[in-house]
Amino acid sequence: MDRIRTFLFPAAIGVLALSCTACRPKTESSAVIGGADAPTGIFVSVAPAYSVISQEEAKALMDSEENIAIVDARDRSEYEQGHIPGALLLPYTEVESKAAELLPDKEQCILVYCRSGRRSKLAAETLVKLGYTDVREFGGITTWPYGTEK
């Protein structure tokens, strides 16, 4: 069960109350900001996070870990032109509909890349929103120095 922590801070116009879920890393946090009489209705939500790692770190994980999924977030034609060995094609536009089928273990380390880094960030965000707990984004294949396959 999630634990809720509330912090009260004196402010010039009243009290600032922050509540956050503190059970696990990468869970959603929220805050309600209010004055002395009542909350103002402002709600701040911080989305669950994924890690951004370097290509060197990604390659080291690929070489040393066994249970890693490498996700290529580009489209099929780009994937067929060349991809990182062992990469699974999961276009960023299909993550929400196909992730459960292609990535059944939500605790598995998932490394995500695309061409330049924009689509991999979107795919990583979607994976985290779907409940994946160990998502790491490492940019684009255009600067990948370790070789590809067709």
Q: Is 109 a catalytic residue?
A: no
Q: What is the DSSP string of 21-67?
A: E-SSTT--EEEEEE-SSSEEEEEEEE----EE--HHHHHHHHHH-SS
Angle at 72 between CA 119 and CA 117, to 5 degrees: 35
Which listed residue (20, 23, 109, 114) is catalytic? Answer: 114
Write out the catalytic residue numbers.
114
